[in-house]
Chains A and B, each alone.
Chain A
């Protein structure tokens, strides 16, 4: 590994020896992201302090023919930041400066390691940054860009991609490219957002922020079952109302979160629906009455309205604790992330019930009801032989059920390593070929986060010059066919 040793000493010269980690103990926290069952120890983890250092690190990797993976806070749920054994992990946690706040233009410019919540804080109290993944306290904006993160409020406000106005990107050969939403030419900015670190790494990020709504109203309604709650959602959306958030929890998730939070959710209910409206006072008041009526018509009972910020926080506390609270119901669980056309909810929930029964496992459903993004939590006990495997199979079958209804294999967690084998179920060979063309234009040598997103490693054709062993061939990740 002479090549590796030379690269490591080059990385030390760029970032300072203390910011280049190679000892297995020091690398331990970086072996996985939020999806902890995929683990890999990289050749080195490097923590640059500036965009310029990132560029130099990427350039050094390019010269050495070594692949790399960029990592933000490591909260991703698809193994997108899983390191490569022979590669470098570029940790962006030290790039956390807020470079400019320009409220006259409703813009903020930040480095990639800044947390999602810090952005809203930087533009408070007049403005906020809408995409709000539930990990927003720790997750980094660079990671949000890579994953095109969503959150509870994106049915009304949109996703990360709708808020990115400009990016400084380092390509895998070390070239720095400025991409801007209004620049003439291809929308490479929009193409980059959500590319899961496979097209390059963003070192500077310009975001649009929006004025804080005048008022927020939150209601919690309980229903006999998820079908009735789904009818309420359909009625609300069909009435032309666009709630800021509309979240559903089923019986099992209500029970788990109520045990964990004591938020006062009804344990006898089959479904809970959180509906939040925000906007101008008058507008909200008129809409809110309408929403209450529609919930009642759909069989909603015990409709509670938050009368203070603390009551609102309590309603949300249960929803935001849903994943963590599952620990009380089962020793372990997989979080699935599938999307369906919202109107197919009854069929899909029925199918999930059937599948769960067939596999002898429990599934709790938490779900962004407005945009059809399901988060089934598949509970299992690793102490029972075969159960983790059954749970994984069930998780995969749930995705197939989503696809059967015209949905998607991921709404916000990304493909990463976790779902790349599912890509052929959603996309044809020709579709994948289209993706491959894009990847090759950005990263012809396949050095940026290889082995993610695409189901099978492929090399880019027509690399000019004499034959050179491709870095991925050397690493044993891919072979020339």
Chain B
């Protein structure tokens, strides 16, 4: 029977972890619960630590383009607050049912969306962090200013750590101006190589795109280039001209582009099937699309970054991984428990880097209290 703790302060969060550690009990840290099926299928925890009461927007310094958010703040709520001053946190992953995803969960899983093209991922937007550790320590790192090199960058260490080092209590983030308007150029092709060269041309063009995505489904693919700024339509038309030059078909420009991007974000989830996040060099895009096509998969991805979300039948996951032997990572994010038991979701190779990660884990969570067994190499 899992015990549920809902602390309201950093100290109380640390106390929950410390008590569990003292009793040799494991803790799973849960925000909105929208990504519970990510990572290795770990055994049932003794304690569930819910961040739902850590739900305050502690600061929004509009003039400084920064904010301090407690971990349990739903990202959608924070975005609404920032939007009221024409700002945004440039982080747009899918937010799940009822838009329940919290900032803590998004940071802990390093999830992102199409805006990663321009603004980087969560690790590039988090400027400070407060964490609770399993010995009862509450530690901060970074600060509340955009530029700061004092102390180690533990914010990056905890970003994407899947709660295995401790609980994120609050994060300090950098904000950006929200573009007043946007426009998107799109073009299509059935040829992965053509899509890849067009993506390369757009990435190398001095257009300052907000996002540059690829989509692939049923033997047909598209590129999407989104422009913001002062003259979005002008920029989008330039992108469209490039798409035509590169031989793409059905080239179009629209300023009613929200649904296009909603679809891209939705493609980063797989209700009922399996989702693999593939990381390659950007130039390997055609290879990824072909391999995905061979496995009957659909793809959305960041065309210039080499990050692709491949959605496919659980039975096809092993085949996809075999077809992509030289990729940086092919992480199984979403999938049935049976699949996540049969296939290591992380596939982090044994070696000095993994050894170092195990030492980091031992250093921050020596008792192995926090989210044990869910991360790389059994961490």
Contact = CB atoms under 8 A, between A and B. Distances in A.
Given A191-B156, A427-B140, A185 B357 contact: yes
B53 interface: no
Nearest to B207: A280
A376 interface: no
B147 A185 contact: no
B371 interface: no
A184 B355 CA distance: 13
A283 interface: yes
Interface stretch (A4-12, A21-29, A334-342, A386-394): A334-342
B133 to A, nearest CB: 7
A71 interface: no
Given A184-B331, A283-B231, A342 B63 contact: yes
Given A158-B120, A182-B328, A441-B362, A411 B149 contact: yes
Interface in B331-350: 331, 346-348
B131 interface: yes
Contacts of B178: 240
B143 interface: yes
Contact of A342 (B64, B229, B329, B354): B64
A430 interface: yes
Interface in B344-379: 346-348, 351-357, 359-360, 362-364, 375-377, 379
A264 B352 CA distance: 57
A187 B159 contact: yes
Interface stretch (A170-178, A299-307, A321-329, A352-360): A170-178
A107 interface: yes
B143 A408 contact: yes
Given A183-B353, A414-B149, A426-B143, A372 B64 contact: yes
Contact of B346 (A178, A185, A282, A406): A185
B141 A435 contact: yes
A104 B282 contact: yes
Contact of A431 (B151, B281, B329): B151
A310 B306 CA distance: 39
B298 interface: no
Contacts of A372: 64, 145-147
B281 A105 contact: yes
Given A176-B352, A426-B143, A438-B157, A147 B149 contact: yes
B208 interface: yes
Contacts of B170: none
Contacts of B63: 234, 237-238, 341-343
B133 A434 contact: yes
A13 interface: no
B19 interface: no
Nearest to B305: A182
B5 to A, nearest CB: 21
A186 B160 contact: yes
A463 interface: no
B119 to A, nearest CB: 9
A343 B64 contact: yes
Given A410-B150, A437-B364, A438-B157, A179 B235 contact: no
Interface stretch (A35-43, A208-216, A245-253): A208-216
B246 interface: no
Interface in B242-267: none
Contacts of A282: 230-231, 234-235
Nearest to A408: B148
Given A106-B203, A441-B363, A283 B151 contact: no
B279 interface: yes
A237 B208 CA distance: 18
A191 B146 CA distance: 17
Contacts of B355: 175
B66 interface: yes
A188 B359 CA distance: 12
Contact of B306 (A155, A182, A194, A290): A182
A242 B177 contact: yes
A376 to B, nearest CB: 15
B190 interface: no
Q: Which of A183, A193, A194 has the most CB of B within 10 A?
A: A183
A249 to B, nearest CB: 18
A441 B356 contact: yes
B147 A286 contact: no
Nearest to B348: A184
A186 B360 contact: yes
Contact of A240 (B86, B329, B351): B86
B124 interface: yes
A162 B120 contact: yes
B273 interface: no
B283 interface: yes
Interface in A89-114: 102-107
B325 to A, nearest CB: 15
Given A177-B352, A182-B306, A234-B63, A434 B150 contact: no
B143 A177 contact: no
A408 B153 CA distance: 14
Contacts of B375: 185
Interface string A119-162: 00000001100000000000000000001101000110011011
Contacts of A73: none
A411 B148 contact: yes
Nearest to A191: B157
Given A161-B153, A185-B346, A434 B206 contact: no
Contacts of A438: 152, 154, 157, 360, 363
A412 interface: yes
A180 B348 CA distance: 12
B161 A186 contact: yes
A179 B348 CA distance: 12
B329 A183 contact: yes
B224 interface: no
A373 interface: yes
B152 A439 contact: yes
A444 B307 CA distance: 35
B204 interface: yes
A70 B38 CA distance: 40
Contact of B144 (A177, A406, A428, A441): A406
A439 B347 CA distance: 26
B376 to A, nearest CB: 4
Given A105-B306, A154-B147, 15 more contacts: A105-B282, A106-B203, A161-B124, A175-B355, A175-B356, A183-B329, A191-B154, A238-B63, A280-B235, A283-B230, A283-B231, A372-B145, A408-B145, A415-B150, A427-B150
7 contacts: A105-B281, A159-B147, A183-B353, A187-B160, A343-B63, A407-B145, A408-B145
When A and B form their complex, which 3 residue pairs have the shortest distance between CB atoms, in order from nearest? A190-B156, A434-B139, A240-B177
